[in-house]
Structure 1
Amino acid sequence: MSNITDAFTQPGTNRGLYYDGAFQKPETDAVISVTNPATAEGFTTVPDATATDVDAAVAAARAAFAGWSALDPIDRARHLRRFADVVGENIPKLAILESIVTGRALKEMNAQMARIPEWIEYFAGIAMGLEGESNIVKGGYVTMTHYEPLGPVALLTPWNHPVLILVKKMGAALAAGNTCVVKPSELAPVSPLVMAALATEAGLPDGVVNVVTGGPQTGAALCAHPDIHYIDLTGGTTTGRKVAAVAGERLVQTTMELGGKTPVLVCQDADLDGAIAGGLFSAFVASGQTCVSGARFIVHHDIYDAFVTGIAARADAITLGDPMADTTQIGPVISKASQDRCKRMIATAKADGAVQVAGASDPNLPAPFDQGFYIRPTVFKDVQPEQELFLEEVFGPVISITPFDTEEEALALANTGTFGLGVSIWSRDIARAHRLSLGIRGGVIWLNDHHRNDPRSVWGGVRDSGFGKENGWDALKAYMTKKSVIVRTAPGHDDWFAGSNRYG
């Protein structure tokens, strides 16, 4: 296990930025404070990188690109498999670090972290099988295509899954032959620094993985840098619009994985216990802070009362507390601002006439967790489609339940609003479930399950939830350009201006 991982789990560790294979001193002494959301206490600081720091990190990525991109995919795969092994060895400490910084229960982080190496291994494997094509075409020509990496790329990662979302992006980018500069969220910037150091420890060449920490100005400098050739962002829709505008000005391609307001359709023939258990997981894992959290439940009238009673009782039984304790099931939300937003939306839902059926009691935790940013899992029933709680993303453990009678009504309710990322449909009638999936707007649809993710399962949304795909071949190819080479095989030559009638 790496000493780097051990060091960063200690409060106050600030090694600097990470680029060119080492921790680097930033241009200024400006820092950003990182808070433990379970106690509201300061945990550490990270540098607030300047445009000059960004220039240095991108320069390191550019210098490394020539060698990394020239490696045969088989050799790159060997590097990446070793990286996956090193990450796997450090999972216990990485899980602790993620739990400290994000507030998520350690039990939950251990389960998620166990799968992290799979993304690196998967992209290392499929990159070896990426083949070009050739065709004999009209007029005595052969066209050949092959894939080439783009250059240094920018990976902008969020605070809710700092390592998971980083490896989803980084695995594809590196396997394709690119080098990367990572800009993590200022709320959870620590584990990406550790991941970069582990990449070097695993033998990846210096400059292949680089990290600049900082606030919005750091991200803006990175996105606007003339030697960044792809931008992959996971974040809020407002940030996505800004980044997309910068990328559009530079004509740089992007992947945008943005917000969501995930509908959960529960049909009258659903396995009620399974739908309640799955709905509970969809809504409250990670304290409801995922882009595909089950947020608005659309439940058939025939089972509406039973579903409401069941999920409300289960929600009130969820244990909050110290994220490091084995008995804790969910932790706090990420910040005071997030806690305040949840409280405001709860108050608005009450004022709008929605009926609160779970989450009325205070968390009532002992010190120091009484100062943390906790919100009890909260359930409202009889929420109307024009109300804020039905339409707007909470990004916390607060859900709505609305009844429906017909499939047409269910689809209309599910498609209300501007988002289109995740959806889950619960029905024992597979024909009905599939029929509904065809009519609903969303990029990732689960039938009788939720939240399941795999490096082979394409992931991405539409409309205000973004564009482009993570996972699978789509993600790998997005980090490459497809080049066409046309070879003349016909004898002789043409001379248009001497009378030849061949054109094209």
Structure 2
Amino acid sequence: MTDTTTDLTTSDVAPTSSVATREILDPSTGEVIDVVAEHGAADVDEAVRIARTALESGPWPAMPRSERARLLLRIADAIESASEELFQLETRNNGRPVTETRAQLSRVPEWFRYNAGLLAAQRDAVLPSDGPYLTYQRRTPLGVCGIITPFNHPMLILARSLSAALANGNTVVVKPSEMTPLTTLALARIIKDAGLPNGVVTVVTGGREAGARLTQHPDVAKITLTGGTEAGRSAAVATASRFARVTAELGGKTPIIVFEDVDPVVAAEGAAFAAFVAAGQSCVAGSRFLVHRSIYDQFVTALSARARAIRLGDPADPRTQMGPLISDRQREKVRHLIDTGVVEGAKLSAGGRIPDLPAPLSGGFFLEPTVLADATIDMTVSQEEIFGPVAVVIPFDDEHDAISMANDNRYGLGAGVWTRDIARGHRVADRIVAGMVWVNDHHRLEPSLPWGGVKESGAGKDAGAESFDDFSWIKTIVVRISDDHVDWYGGHDNLRLN
């Protein structure tokens, strides 16, 4: 076990006030694997001070774009070189099977390369202006930015925002989930070794107190938060009070519509990936499967069989297909929702139990992949985010019925449509109220694709040019290029006001 309590920043100056520590658990065994500092409000203040000093006095914001872009490319190469260590570390910290973490984290360098490319290709706009004027725009760093990341995809979600923030010349304070800080701390060391100036990125490891202070800090110009809806609501209120920017990617209750023209077995295979990857701990996890009544029974049978066949076990074993939930508390929340679904009339078609695994996995937070069939749209399990390996299956009769049920929810992050009718695929995708819709697939992403939802799933976009642009502010400069002068009160004709 490595004590990381003092190795917290890319600066030589560490936050000063904390004496408390937090044990980090391996969710597959329940065993302590590390100890980190439990930072509080005073530590966040110190981290923001470090970041502000680097912004105002350091070389980073004023560095030529080409140099910043080259450094981002070096960071991408360094992450790639350390990839095996990062795969294993994240698997151990959050319990995802190593096959999943390898597939996901191997793409992290792409975000740094993509934003380096946007930076290298960035042009300042020259705007049309009547009269003898040259009008142009300059993009300027926002300042100190705060990034708050969740436990489920700690490094990928950090990379999406961090790469865009750094490309624009900002300095950053990162607060990872208190349960999964290890790959964030590893990344901080990697980017320091790659040559990022001191103080440009600072990591604070703490819980709610640290997160609340970061969102409320008067010197933080933007918050990017991925987490629960209530946390996002609090961050939005805190940033609004000082007119700071906020991007919030929050909860979800992803509907997936399965039409009668698809093979129900093929659709069930796609449904299993949507529902059970990351043990269902994803904001866009497929959680409401709306299936045409004519293939409903076949789909439920196929999905239940697939769920029962998923191999649970040691996340470090490449043969393992699903790992544990992040904590016993989360597992108990999911079990309670499953029980609620059954009480309200849903049928437990697969799973729902704690598996019998040998030691040391018996101390982990595993739960069987679960299928709740014969649900209705008004059930608790059909409306509330479960954040666990639970697929809720609901029959529908026609396209209008399916779209109505898909939109009958307070969330609007992701959605899916399975159909062989391409016109219907486009038509239905257009009518679903969600920030992202996949047709005949699920959870596919690229650095160029804006990521974010509507309704209570959040505001703003992560990734894509939209995210890149939101980490800067635009200054418009108007230059009079005529050699005469304006005398408004001298009686001249044809003067223009505004």
TM-score (norm 2): 0.96
Matched, 1:241 2:233: yes
- Residue identity matched to 1:181: V
1:498 is displaced (CA, Å) by 4.2
5+ residue gaps, structure 1: 1-10
- Match in the other structure for 1:423: 415
1:53 is displaced (CA, Å) by 1.8
1:17 is displaced (CA, Å) by 5.0
- Indicate how the Cα distance of structure 1 residues 136 and 442 shifts in structure 2: closer, same or farther if over 3 A, else same: closer
1:410 is displaced (CA, Å) by 0.4
1:107 is displaced (CA, Å) by 1.6
Matched, 1:56 2:49: no
- Match in the other structure for 2:466: 474
Question: CA-to-partner distance for each residue in 1:346-369, whole Å, 9 max, x for gaps?
Answer: 110110010111105541101121
Matched, 1:293 2:285: yes
Residue pairs, 1:350-499, within 5 angstroms: 350-499=342-491
Contact 1:20 1:57 in 2 (8 A): no
- Residue identity matched to 1:478: D
SS at match of 1:24: coil
Q: 2: distance between equivalents of 1:164 and 1:382? A: 36
- Match in the other structure for 2:119: 127
Contact 1:270 1:428 in 2 (8 A): yes
Question: CA-to-partner distance for each residue in 1:336-394, whole Å, 9 max, x for gaps?
Answer: 11100111001101100101111055411011211211110000111111110000000
Matched, 1:114 2:103: no
Question: CA-to-partner distance for each residue in 1:115-169, whole Å, 9 max, x for gaps?
Answer: 1111111111111111111134123322111211111110011110110000001
Contact 1:19 1:60 in 2 (8 A): no
- Match in the other structure for 1:142: 134
- Residue identity matched to 1:503: L
Contact 2:154 2:176 in 1 (8 A): yes
- Match in the other structure for 2:178: 186
Contact 1:271 1:427 in 2 (8 A): no
Q: 2: distance between equivalents of 1:82 and 1:135? A: 35
1:44 is displaced (CA, Å) by 1.7
SS at match of 1:458: coil
Match among 258, 261, 266 for residue 266 of structure 1: 258
Contact 1:17 1:212 in 2 (8 A): no
Match among 179, 202, 214 for residue 194 of structure 2: 202
Match among 282, 294, 304 for residue 302 of structure 1: 294
Match among 149, 155, 170 for residue 147 of structure 2: 155
- Match in the other structure for 2:162: 170
- Match in the other structure for 1:502: 496
Q: 2: distance between equivalents of 1:394 and 1:253? A: 29
Q: 2: distance between equivalents of 1:499 and 1:220? A: 59
Matched, 1:13 2:7: no
- Residue identity matched to 2:408: T
Match among 197, 200, 203 for residue 211 of structure 1: 203
Contact 1:132 1:144 in 2 (8 A): yes
Contact 2:47 2:202 in 1 (8 A): yes
1:19 is displaced (CA, Å) by 2.5
- Indicate how the Cα distance of structure 1 residues 349 and 88 shifts in structure 2: closer, same or farther if over 3 A, else same: same
- Residue identity matched to 1:189: P
1:172 is displaced (CA, Å) by 0.5
- Match in the other structure for 1:3: none
Question: CA-to-partner distance for each residue in 1:17-36, whole Å, 9 max, x for gaps?
Answer: 52253473642311122111
Q: 1: distance between equivalents of 2:74 and 2:427? A: 44
Question: CA-to-partner distance for each residue in 1:222-242, whole Å, 9 max, x for gaps?
Answer: 222222111100010010000
1:491 is displaced (CA, Å) by 4.4
Percent of aligned pairs with the same residue?
Answer: 43
* Alignment length (residue pairs): 494
- Residue identity matched to 2:141: P
Q: 1: distance between equivalents of 2:254 and 2:261? A: 21
SS at match of 1:148: strand
TM-score (norm 1): 0.95
1:297 is displaced (CA, Å) by 0.1
